[in-house]
DNA sequence: GCGTGATTACTCGGATACAAGATGTCCGAGTTTGAGCGG
DNA sequence: CCGCTCAAACTCGGACATCTTGTATCCGAGTAATCACGC
């Protein structure tokens, strides 16, 4: 039970794009170097973020990635769900009645965490950081 | 990022012991049958609970497991930590300054969940359930 | 009846097998930019 | 100067290879209760 490295890469990439000059395309090379990860692997992660509608990509020479219009509303939970999926963290696969009390406790605990992550926008963090050229 | 099945088994076993007649030893066979899991695997999980001081075991014929004295104070978090370990769910392994803002957000989110799990005792659930013979 | 040993019913621990998911690589295909070149 | 071609610099996607971890099994060892047997 741990968050995957991919989630870490995704969050850091989003934050890096947030403190970069807007509308400027940034290649996956630059993003990968900064995080010590291969470009091919990172591009796979970014593809998920594109499909989730958080960033957009441009092909061809001088192509790259940049945030989409509504990026200021993107929360930590959005990024995590895009990478890890939205399935529940705990599933009591047993057949002992329809309502498992344990399941309910675990579910509400998970929702506590999600609520906190939903309230944390990337833009909140970006404000606290210096803009990178 | 999911809770392991082992955690599920551990929680259900603890709850089952909680609604069983106290001080009565229950064999791993009975526990395993109820959860559709092999006895050998379940016994490995229970060993962790023994080492964590939540239950105690007795060897030999008519041996088995039972809760320890202080079981009414055992929380969900205690069980989870005994099985999954106490490591943080998120670790930013990057070298970009001592204080990673992302790490801080993730950590506080995790603590929100843990706080909820710490307040949920197994004895709370046991009270809501009929005693099983 | 009573000790003694064998049998049985258990837990315990290590070693190992198996499966699934996370992580990472390779390569071919498509796309855009820009340079080079001929008219 | 203009338009064409071609190479370079990218992203994209599928198919792998690898590594880690969770899940599960097997087997031998230890332990305690119970039974059998001989005295």
Q: Each residue of B84-129: pLDDT tens digit?
A: 999 999 999 887 777 899 999 999 999 999 999 999 999 999 998 8
A2:B87 CB<8 A? yes
Q: pLDDT at position B126, please? A: 92
Coil, strand or helix: which one is B130?
A: coil
User: What's the rounded mean pLDDT across residues B64-71?
Assistant: 95
Which tokens is A107 given?
Answer: 């579910």
- A99 CA to C10 C1' in angstroms comes to 34
- Rounded Cα gap, residues A56 and B15, in angstroms: 49
pTM, entire model: 0.91
Q: How far is B23 from chain A (nearest CA, A)?
A: 23
User: What's the rounded mean pLDDT across residues B53-68?
Assistant: 95
Q: Is the pLDDT of residue B131 over 70?
A: no
Pick from A63-67, A85-89, A98-102: least confident: A98-102
- Rounded Cα gap, residues B37 and B33, in angstroms: 7
Which tokens is B82 given?
Answer: 């005994």
Residue of A nearest to B75 (CA): A105
**Ordered structural domains, chain B, with CATH:** 5-127 (1.10.10.10)
**Half-sphere exposure for A99 (CA within 13 Å, toward CB):** 6
Smallest Cβ–Cβ distance between A112 and the set B3, B93, B113 belongs to B113
Closest residue to D8 (CA to C1') is A61
Q: pLDDT at position B132, please? A: 59
Q: pLDDT at position A133, please? A: 44
- Rounded Cα gap, residues B101 and A13, in angstroms: 13
| Structure confidence at residue B133 as a pLDDT band (50, 70, 90) | very low
Which residues lie below 8 Å from residue A116, measured CB to CB, with a gap of 6+? B108, B109, B112
């Amino acid at each position: 039970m741990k968050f995957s490295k991919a989630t870490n890469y995704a969050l850091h990439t989003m934050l890096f794009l947030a403190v970069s000059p807007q509308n400027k395309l940034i290649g996956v090379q630059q993003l990968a170097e900064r995080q010590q990860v291969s470009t091919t692997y990172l591009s796979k992660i970014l593809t998920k973020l594109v499909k989730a509608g958080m960033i957009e990509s441009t092909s061809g020479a001088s192509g790259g990635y940049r945030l989409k219009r509504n990026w200021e509303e993107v929360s930590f939970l959005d990024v995590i769900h895009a990478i890890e999926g939205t399935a529940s963290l705990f599933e009591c696969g047993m057949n002992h009645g329809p309502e498992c009390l344990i399941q309910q406790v675990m579910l509400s605990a998970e929702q506590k965490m999600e609520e906190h992550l939903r309230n944390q926008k990337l833009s909140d963090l970006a404000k606290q950081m210096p803009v990178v050229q």
